[in-house]
Structure 1
Amino acid sequence: MTLIYDAAPSAAPTLSPKFRVFTTRHLDELLARAGLTPDQRLTARAVATVLPFRTNNYVVDELIDWHAAPDDPIYRLIFPQEDMLPSEDVAHLADLLRRQAPTGEVAAAATAVRRRLNPHPAGQLQLNVPTFAGDELPGVQHKYDETALFFPRQGQTCHAYCTYCFRWAQFVGEPDLKMAAEDVGRLKEYLLAHPGITGVLFTGGDPMIMRASVLSRHIEPLLDLEQLESIRIGTKSLAYWPYKFLTDPDADDMLRLFEKVVRSGRNLAFMAHFTHPRELASPAVGEAVRRIRDTGAIIRTQAPLIRSINDDAVLWESMWRQQTRMGMIPYYMFVERDTGPQDYFAVPLARAQQIFRDAYRNVSGLARTVRGPSMSATPGKVCVDGVVELSGEKVFALHLIQCRDSSLVNQPFFAKYDPEAIWLDDLEPAFADRFPFEDLTSANGSP
């Protein structure tokens, strides 16, 4: 069979920039470009000692509207903001930076703040990391019966970091907070011992930060396993560096790898994160989507609902419509998780459900594959279906899309209505003494 990726992209952009990364070393210069005063830049840099910052020239040059910064949504998606952390913590860190305190003192203060931010929500380290043959499997998670998550060590960064990212702890240089696997061998052994696992999700970080040859070394050994029905790759690369699939030196090799997975009889699900319609607008994104789809891979789209960035039904409707036109499948609207700067980004569940409903009712059935708003909490993925009145009481109607106890999947349950609730642990059961999953684990979304 002749592979279809021997030629250059048919509609490749005329300008194919070389990837250039910007980190905290460049932060002050970029903040000045947004018109921030020296004091404002100092407080933003203080936040960046705790929360990771990384971006690239595509995001800076093509996605951010610098005339609208610092209020531009893509700018807010990338750059640290003063009120992402408690004011007393920001003031203390800013004072350390102002008086040029020793690096170790600044690092210790930043670490203390991080530890109060619930760096691993939903028991990611305590509850999800499996043991096998008496040993823990670092870099592997097994929360749901049929799916294993794999965190390859080489994929533990991204083309750019989102300020809302619930996996921010992967990027701050603290080894005990990082989930990373050295190789795929132990994962393969674990899968063979657990034949009920039918899908593997490669995540991170972003697996698409890896070269094709490296990703291939992780994926190809799994194609020998008859039990596997699907391989998923979670990534923001289409939004932040579409040239990965167009003009990067290994672009064609990466697409050949995708094609090989599909030809093996597996569903290759490319889980693309798009947070704002602007991320879909570039011709480079459209061409990258076409090339990925031509391999036989299915692109599914997902993103969290983020206050000040995309908390608008019109934006979600626009995204779902455009994604459908491009041949992608809208998949999830998530609720911002209970970690990091949650208070800065969170949208109350009642408003989140209304935004979802208003956007959902204005798109065609082809886009109504999307689910949400969904909380990835300790018991599982909890979907807020609506607000209803039952027996004279206003309540949230919810169900579990996924659950540690699979017998509870798709079972409806109710919670007392609370217009201020932003997470599962803010809710109280309605018409019952406890939620159906509380025999399994705490209702708290934190470990």
Structure 2
Amino acid sequence: MLEKNQLTQLVTLKFILMKVKYISKISKVQELTNKEVELYEPVTKKFMFRTNSYYNDLIDWSDPNDPIRRLIIPQTEELLNWGQLDASEEASYQPIPGIEHKYSSTVLLLCNDVCAAYCRFCFRKRLFQDDNDEVVKDVSSGIAYIKEHPEVNNVLLTGGDPLVMSTARIEKIIKQLCEIEHVKNIRIGTKLPAFNPHRILDDPSLGEMIKTYSKVKQIYGMVHFDHPTELTDLTVSSLKFLQAAGATVVNQTPIIAGVNDSPEVMNELFNKLSFIGIITYYVFACRPTEGNKTYAVPVEQAYEIFNEAKNNGSGLAKTARFILSHKIGKIEVLGLTEKLILFKCHNLANNGQNGKIMAFKRNPKAYWFDDYENFEVVI
């Protein structure tokens, strides 16, 4: 029997889902021509497709190169033979299903395998395939694992998007984490403010839950905005909602070809986020995940875009680091000289190497750290 507050939350969530129509078949996207549907259907059979009416309304359908369209509508180039499904070998860091423990102090709790919509460049698209078992809905084993590892001081709820779940289910997980003494920070990885801010704004119980548990542990909203168009008035209100409830909100984004691969667009994104008190945390190189060739930008070109975007902003818009989330850990790009690219071991699985500086001969064709392995220079 559901408790009264749980039933209220489920009814609220049902109302939200009715308000925003979800679309899981490319043929149901009314703005596409029959020819476009015919082109894109083979892509959706290989990689999951989902969008919704709110996000589709952000698209200028008269522009075939619209960046929001590119974020969510399939490209036939996704079928090119390039990359690996698990480009950073995340599965190798899973001691048990539902847990990723790559960095000593941080655990990822893979608690949901659904997103409000699916980014075409997703680096975890493998999780949405039928034969994947990395995500679990019963997190009890994961909670037990975290309890047994006192070195873990922060936990990231991810997957999938945790905020797609009912608030009752999210609260059950956060309550258990708050009862673990050595867990100090709880992070919620989400793109819901961009994909469907109604989910947040129309559910006061979500704010109440965050307000309650942010008094016990520090709650972070790890949001994902790729383009300034996503920062609508409704979205900004949803971010203010999370902040008012007590969450610290930070943004992460990859550099995506045809979306934000210009200094002007990235600078506008950095500035707009800073104006509403959102910290720009990481900017990632697009991982060489299967299907992602059309979205990837070479490392050195991406760094130049990132660096110019930061240089034209205020100090508050210059907080991001440019990162390659590699199988060995997070590698930061520090800068370029005429002949060299400089990397820093920002946060490695083997943290004994953290802080190490590496210099490589420049390779303008490199899309990933592995493309430099034969170019290292001793300095």
TM superposition score normalised by structure 1: 0.78
Distance (whole Å) between structure 2 residues aligned to residue 59 and residue 186 of structure 1: 35
**1:85 equivalenced with 2:73 (yes/no):** no
Q: Per-residue deviation at 1:178?
A: 3.9
The counterpart of 1:415, out of the listed 360, 370, 376, is 360
Superposition pairs of residues 67-86 of structure 1, within 5 angstroms: 67-68=62-63, 70-86=64-80
* Alignment size in residue pairs: 363
2:334 maps to which residue? Answer: 385
Cα root mean square deviation, aligned = 1.9
Distance (whole Å) between structure 2 residues aligned to residue 37 and residue 351 of structure 1: 36
Larger Rg: 1
Q: Per-residue deviation at 1:37?
A: 5.6
2:114 maps to which residue? Answer: 157
Please tell me the residue identity of whatever aligns with 2:157.
F
**1:22 equivalenced with 2:17 (yes/no):** no
User: 1:367-424, CA deviations, whole angstroms, 9 ceiling, x for partnerless residues?
Assistant: 222111x1111110111111125xxxx1110012210111211221112210110101
Superposition pairs of residues 30-429 of structure 1, within 5 angstroms: 30=29, 33-34=31-32, 36=33, 38=35, 40-61=36-57, 63-68=58-63, 70-86=64-80, 118-125=84-91, 127-130=92-95, 137-152=96-111, 155-172=112-129, 174-175=130-131, 177-247=132-202, 251-264=203-216, 266-280=217-231, 282-372=232-322, 374-389=323-338, 394-427=339-372, 428-429=374-375
Distance (whole Å) between structure 1 residues aligned to residue 315 and residue 99 of structure 2: 36
Unaligned regions of 5+ residues in structure 1, if any?
1-14, 87-112, 131-136, 434-447
Which 4+ runs in 1 deviate beyond 3 A?
A: none
SS in 2 for 1:219: helix
Q: Per-residue deviation at 1:357?
A: 0.7
Q: 1:210 to 1:29 in 2, by over 3 A?
A: closer
Q: Per-residue deviation at 1:189?
A: 2.1
Query: Contact 1:395–1:430 at 8 Å: present in 2 too?
Result: no
Query: Contact 1:76–1:309 at 8 Å: present in 2 too?
Result: yes
Please tell me the residue identity of whatever aligns with 2:241.
R
- Give the fraction of aligned pairs with identical amino acids, expressed as a percent: 31
SS in 2 for 1:151: strand
SS in 2 for 1:122: coil
Query: Contact 1:164–1:340 at 8 Å: present in 2 too?
Result: no
Unaligned regions of 5+ residues in structure 2, if any?
1-15
SS in 2 for 1:311: coil
Distance (whole Å) between structure 2 residues aligned to residue 178 and residue 75 of structure 1: 30
Q: Per-residue deviation at 1:190?
A: 1.5
User: 1:28-72, CA deviations, whole angstroms, 9 ceiling, x for partnerless residues?
Assistant: 352x624x462x4322111111111100110112x111121x221
Q: Per-residue deviation at 1:342?
A: 2.2
Distance (whole Å) between structure 2 residues aligned to residue 189 and residue 171 of structure 1: 25
Distance (whole Å) between structure 2 residues aligned to residue 37 and residue 309 of structure 1: 25
Distance (whole Å) between structure 2 residues aligned to residue 16 and residue 156 of structure 1: 17
SS in 1 for 2:115: coil
Distance (whole Å) between structure 2 residues aligned to residue 333 and residue 354 of structure 1: 12
SS in 2 for 1:239: helix
Distance (whole Å) between structure 1 residues aligned to residue 264 and residue 240 of structure 2: 25
2:3 maps to which residue? Answer: none
SS in 1 for 2:272: helix
SS in 1 for 2:214: helix
Distance (whole Å) between structure 1 residues aligned to residue 262 and residue 59 of structure 2: 19
Query: Contact 2:98–2:139 at 8 Å: present in 1 too?
Result: no
Please tell me the residue identity of whatever aligns with 1:402.
N
